[in-house]
Amino acid sequence: MDRQIDIILQGGQFKKLLEEQSAELRQKYDMKRAELEILYFLSKSGEHNTSTDIHRQLMMNRGHISQAVDNLCRRNYIIAIPDKNDRRYVHYEISDHAKELITEMTSRREAMNQKILEGVSEEELKIYREVSEKIRNNINKLIF
């Protein structure tokens, strides 16, 4: 496969950039990387807000998810809500206490994304989204 595609799919550069960009927030709010990632995910996930959804989207170890979610609940950043129809599932929602952190994290991500996409036209971005979605669907077929 093309070296450039390998690099993008493996995500190492993006992970490093994200790690650098989130270091200040992690220190300011005394959070682990997994906790920040889960908070950000939950702020964008809508109804897909269970630990299974987190696992599928972020590909995190279930033990890390469990620890992070417990810490976030204990620190009042998220609220655990049992599923009304299936008690095996718990839904997680962002609490009011987390709003400031979410706002700060979102603005940092948007600024980072703006820099990453500098020089990329709307047409190129549209094509990238379409191709990425196809690749993501193919990967999901292979792993789920």
d(CA 124, CA 117): 10
pLDDT per position as a tens digit, 8-17: 666 778 888 8
Residue 1 predicted with pLDDT over 60: no
Q: Tell me the CATH number at 19.
A: 1.10.10.10
Q: What's the start-to-end Cα distance of the chain, in Å?
A: 23
Both tokens assigned to 49: 């807000």
Q: Per-residue pLDDT tens for 22-68?
A: 899 999 999 999 999 999 999 999 999 999 999 988 889 999 999 99
Domain of residue 50 covers 3-143
Q: 105, 36 in Cβ contact below 8 A?
A: yes
Give the per-residue pLDDT at 10: 65
Q: Do the beta carbons of residue 120 and residue 103 sit within 8 Å? A: no
Q: What is the pTM of this model?
A: 0.83
Task: Say if residue 103's pLDDT is above 60.
Answer: yes
Domain count, the chain: 1
